[in-house]
Structure 1
Amino acid sequence: MSAIVFGSLPFPGQSGDQIVSKVVTTAIAALFKKTGKLEANVRAEPIAKILQGSIDGFDFVGKGMVMYNGLRLEAMELYLQAISIDFSAIFSGKVKLRQPTQATMRIVLTEEDLTRSFNTPFIIEKLQRLQYQGQSLHFQNTQITVNPDKSINIQSEIKVGDNTEYIPINMQTELHTESRTKIQFINPKFEGEENSIQLSQAILDHVNNLLDLDKFKLDGSRLRVDRARVKDKEFVFYGTVEIDRFPEGKK
């Protein structure tokens, strides 16, 4: 019976789970400016239950994903258990949840991803909102390096106000999560002259204030991080995504 029903749908040769998987993959891809490998897998048994919008589970794995603000993710994995969707919306290329849901997630950023992030106009603009001694700041050549002991080096060159010279800053920190909503650089060790150390401390406080996940949430969703690991030049974050509605992309 289900073969007859799905055979009449405007997706020749595809079953209901393949249809939903394709639409979900396309919708997620639209959230990013550029994507590498994307793979979605919808589970439903029996398949016919998808017609009522009932899904047993949904897995998504994406690699090499670049957001519209320039931030890059080496990998993103989402795993959802039973969810309910409006199956009729699938035919217009949309994913509509009938009720809020929650997914477990794993996000990976490389050392290069984080360095690139700190040099994008999106992050630089946020960093330059800091007023230091009543003057504006200008950043260049920010570099993030993971050390063998899993500590993190942050280096940058910063010009204060109308000064012509850039002040080099160099600090060593550790990665930490706080209250599931913040990613923090803690236990700093500063290098350089006194003016460089004072500037480094002000920058670190500002960066930690910026790294509130609620400030970076996608429309209709909230990120919560339970654990962060530094391994092999990569930053791996484990947590959940609370989804009220499936965000619509910019394409």
Structure 2
Amino acid sequence: MLGGLTGLTDPKGADWGERMLNTVASQTIRHLFSQSESVEVSVRCNPSSKLLQGSIDSFTMKGRGLVIRRQFAAEELFVETDAVAIDFSSVLSGKLRLKQPTQAIAQVTLLEAGINQSFKAELVTKRLENLTTPALTALSGGQPVSFPEVEVKLLPQNRLRILAKADLNNGTLVPLNMTVTIGIERRRRVSFKNPEIDLNEVSEAQKEISQTLSLALVEILDNMVDLDRFDLDGVKMRLNRLETEGERLIFSGYAEIERIPKNP
């Protein structure tokens, strides 16, 4: 049974249980992502004999080049748990099951390029297409309004520049250019606030409608990025802070883990 675990070395060493658990955990977690450049798992257990009772001091995971649900890219993911109780018999069968829920600190790093790629994901585009709110259709003569092009640039002090186009479904594209402040609300939602709209490169005929559509897009984005829509089965993520750093957006928070998610 043990020989069937990829990467398992001779179990006679004192740390054979940790090596086996690292292998099983790495395989399990790697399969949660559509793509991964690397996934490294490290288990701390002293003395190692506690593993036989399923007791672990801490569990650390570092991932790079991750893709979630085939469309959302994360440059880095770091997770470190509190003490964990696992079903050791599940490890012997090449699986990983928790005996009880646990908590972990987490940090996620997104790249500007990955954020822009996410605006092409179906989960996002469907919330930006064929919008029929009274305020928007009033601008388009009753036609649905879409935002087919959205690009962001990360700025210092948690600011974003948003360049977009609004399609009024009547052959007219309206350019949008604004800067917003991003923050965290209720530990689960990314907010878009304090828009500063730049109309310098908008034609005189479109300035007023560009202003109105810019505010509408900010409101849409402000209600879009909710972690509850992205949670893996059995894992609830919560945020404490975010920070822009060059072309990186870094989220720090924690995860409540009820069970190891099944493969998506």
TM-score, normalised to structure 2, is 0.86
Q: Do the aligned partners of residues 181 and 150 (structure 1) sit closer, same or farther apart at CA in structure 2, a change above 3 Å counting?
A: closer
Using the TM superposition, give the Cα deviation of residue 33 of structure 1 relative to its aligned residue in structure 2, in angstroms: 1.1
Kindly provide the amino acid, as one letter, of the partner of residue 17 in structure 1: E
Which residue pairs with 1:52 in the alignment? 53
SS at match of 2:223: helix
1:22 aligns with 2:19: no
SS at match of 2:209: helix
Which residue pairs with 1:241 in the alignment? 255
Using the TM superposition, give the Cα deviation of residue 19 of structure 1 relative to its aligned residue in structure 2, in angstroms: 1.2
SS at match of 1:187: strand
Kindly provide the amino acid, as one letter, of the partner of residue 139 in structure 1: F
Aligned 8 A contact 1:127 1:207 in 2: no
Gaps of 5+ in 2: 200-206
1:231 aligns with 2:231: no
Using the TM superposition, give the Cα deviation of residue 150 of structure 1 relative to its aligned residue in structure 2, in angstroms: 4.7
Superposed structure 1 runs of 4+ greater than 6 Å apart? none
Identity %: 32
- Give CA-to-partner distance per residue, 1:179-202, whole Å, 9 cap, x none: 211111111111231111111111
- Give CA-to-partner distance per residue, 1:158-207, whole Å, 9 cap, x none: 212x3122221111011111121111111111123111111111111111
- Give CA-to-partner distance per residue, 1:64-98, whole Å, 9 cap, x none: 10112400001000001210011111233322111
- Give CA-to-partner distance per residue, 1:195-241, whole Å, 9 cap, x none: 11111111111111111211221111111100111111211111000
SS at match of 1:210: coil
Aligned 8 A contact 1:69 1:122 in 2: no
Aligned 8 A contact 2:131 2:146 in 1: no
Which residue pairs with 2:10 in the alignment? 13
Gaps of 5+ in 1: 1-7
The CA distance in 2 between the partners of 1:127 and 1:72, in whole Å, is 20
SS at match of 1:163: coil
Which residue pairs with 1:165 in the alignment? 172
SS at match of 2:71: coil
Decide which of 141, 149, 170 is 1:141's aligned counterpart: 149
The CA distance in 2 between the partners of 1:219 and 1:147, in whole Å, is 33
1:191 aligns with 2:184: no
- Give CA-to-partner distance per residue, 1:21-76, whole Å, 9 cap, x none: 11111111111111012111011111121111110101111011011240000100
The CA distance in 2 between the partners of 1:244 and 1:129, in whole Å, is 38
Choose 1 or 2 for highest CA Rg: 2
Using the TM superposition, give the Cα deviation of residue 111 of structure 1 relative to its aligned residue in structure 2, in angstroms: 1.1
TM-score, normalised to structure 1, is 0.90
Which residue pairs with 1:206 in the alignment? 220
Which residue pairs with 1:222 in the alignment? 236
Aligned 8 A contact 2:73 2:110 in 1: yes
Which residue pairs with 2:68 in the alignment? 67
Using the TM superposition, give the Cα deviation of residue 107 of structure 1 relative to its aligned residue in structure 2, in angstroms: 0.4
Using the TM superposition, give the Cα deviation of residue 148 of structure 1 relative to its aligned residue in structure 2, in angstroms: 4.8
Q: C-alpha root-mean-square deviation of aligned residues, in Å?
A: 1.8
* Equivalent residue pairs, number: 242
Which residue pairs with 1:5 in the alignment? none
Q: Equivalences for 1:93-112 in 2 at 5 Å?
A: 93-112=94-113
The CA distance in 2 between the partners of 1:179 and 1:139, in whole Å, is 27
